[in-house]
Amino acid sequence: MEKNTFLVLENFIGGKFVPCPAHIDSYDPSTGEVYCKVPDSGEEEVDSAVQAAKEAFPGWSVRSPDQRAQVLNKLADLIEGHLEEFAQAESRDQGKTVTFARTVDIPRSAYNFRFFASSVLHHTTDCSQMDHMDCLNYTVRCPVGVAGLISPWNLPLYLLTWKIAPAIAAGNTVVAKPSEMSSVTAWMMCKLMQQAGVPSGVVNIVFGLGSRAGDALVGHPEVPLISFTGSTATARHITERSAPYCKKLSLELGGKNPALVFADADLDRCIETTVRSSFSNQGEICLCTSRIYVERSIYATFLEKFVAAARKWKTGVPSDPVNNNGALISKEHLEKVRSFVALAKSEGATVHCGEGINHPDLPNRNINGYFMGATVISGVADSSRVMQDEIFGPVTCVSPFDGEDEAVAKANGVRYGLAATVWSRDVGKVHRVARRLQTGLVWTNCWLVRDLNLPFGGMKNSGVGREGGRDSYHFFTEVKTITIQH
């Protein structure tokens, strides 16, 4: 590719695009070629963005919720007006299919602004009377200040807007750092800010590595709040860097999500949904199913039907609408995911389809892309790293269980606790099992049905805190109790 055809991104600070002297290469996952230069920002750029956000905070925070909501709705309109442009860019930058970006990522990004524009209008505060002391107590909620937001590479604009929308709806200003591997749609959104009526400095986006730009943001003394989605290892570092400043933290981390399939499940519906829950977006969703436990009496039937369905899940060029999956995010990530399949084989497991068996049919220009077919493995021990570690790719393991207690024990036998799915027609069993599962979300006979009003987050190593309608509002505000004696 010619040098002058690279897309060169700039930081967005104080309402202006600011060039950066150093850059990071960003690759097109479907070809393996560099196509974009992302700013390699550090302390200086982050500090400029924080100062711009601080200056904008007084004016933005005193606007009424309704005035702020109008701006959020306008931004949603503009994203929808450029939906196809955003979808094409998201696909090229992240590797996902254009269809997935067009139907999931970009519509949800616009809806995040619409949802929080509405929900911010409907929160109430508490009041308590103490007549015997002639006192009235009440609470108010105040924006916190400059919010530091760090979003991942798997659903780039979707998860960035999930943070920006509630933060600015509540009256905060933000400094956000998207992943350096998928920054383009965040940069495109910056171009819409002025037209949407977002005042200069309310939204600042600094691009770069987590180890430089991210570290500078979480360690900045004038950023009192951090919302992070990413790995558990990075979250530990964020916690340590934030501790001296007593920052508010919301950490949405990894998952090793189980599906429990009982003998009385609607098998056809279960298989259709579980193929989707295992492999959607190349398996690069924190909520994807990576462990499937099946009651022994139906195990052989399930495995046969599930493998047949997985073989039909097409992987290939992201622009082709017949494909369900595109490319994984990077060469390094592809190698990591492949290493888990190799480990499973070395431990005596059986790989039924996908890696090493079915090879995606690719045109010449995509031969060096980071593609991997939907992979189903059986015969993996519960203690194996393949069953314990987050793989974050199109790989799922199928294993039998005997009885409800064993199913729950196996599901809970990892350090993660983000989401689970339960497949059964027995209502009593569904409620019992759901209560016993150590996960923040449990879906029954479905997957990824989301009401944004409800809390989102995990237990154990899957994170700290919850976000969603009321929960996001509480996180992005501080509560103050006021007592008036009359």
Active-site positions read 252, 286
Residue pair 410/298 in contact by the 8 Å Cβ criterion: no
d(CA 385, CA 390): 9
Tell me the CB-side half-sphere exposure of residue 23, using CA atoms within 13 A.
18
Closest CA to 96 of 8, 191, 184: 184
Residue pair 391/340 in contact by the 8 Å Cβ criterion: yes
d(CA 366, CA 356): 18
- 448-452 contacts, C-beta under 8 A, 24 or more apart: 448/277, 448/280, 448/287, 452/111, 452/112, 452/115, 452/119
Q: Other CB atoms closer than 10 Å to residue 402's CB: what's the count?
A: 10
d(CA 253, CA 118): 27
Closest CA to 412 of 390, 438, 440: 438
- DSSP assigned state of 211: I
d(CA 8, CA 238): 29
d(CA 100, CA 91): 8
* b/e sequence 364-386, b meaning 16+ C-beta within 10 Å: eebeebbbbbbbbbbbbeeebeb
Residue pair 318/324 in contact by the 8 Å Cβ criterion: no
* b/e sequence 112-138, b meaning 16+ C-beta within 10 Å: bbbbbbebbeeeeeeeeeeeeeeeeee
